[in-house]
Amino acid sequence: MRIIGIGIDLVDCNRIQSSIDRFGERFLKRVFTEGEIAYSNSMKFPARHLAARFAAKEALSKAFGTGIGKSMSWRDLDVQKKESGEPFVVLSGGAEKMANEREVGRIWISLSHTDESGMATIILEAHDR
């Protein structure tokens, strides 16, 4: 296994809730995909799940070494769940382009949250040669 990049991020759930309270749908639709919003809103405490997904987006940008903005947008990364509950990542736009250019074969993702924080770790693994 050849590692291309590793990223980790920790997000305060209150920060996400404050953004939702202040900007509402505008914030949600700017940062999260429809699936991420629907999933999180189906949970008892949506901000916790949104915070973990926000952290995943930041962690991915760190793994690529780019940040969010010029190379990829917030919605270029979609955190989804398998039936088993295991999270996985679907890339589009700039993130997908960057993954193809860097020959990313697999994206490993781990999410967690508490009442106060959401966190994510991303590992970018290269294609087998």
Q: Which residues does the annotation mark as catalytic?
A: 62, 113
Question: What's the token pair of residue 117?
Answer: 């924080």
**Burial of 41 per CB tally in 10 Å (0-12, 13-18, 19+):** exposed
Q: Quickly count: other Cβ atoms within 10 Å of residue 81's Cβ.
A: 12
Q: Which bin fits 85, alpha (ψ -120 to 50), beta or left (φ > 0)? A: left
Q: Are strands 87-91 and 104-113 parallel, antiparallel or unpaired?
A: unpaired
SS3 content of the chain, % helix, strand, coil (to 5): 45, 30, 25
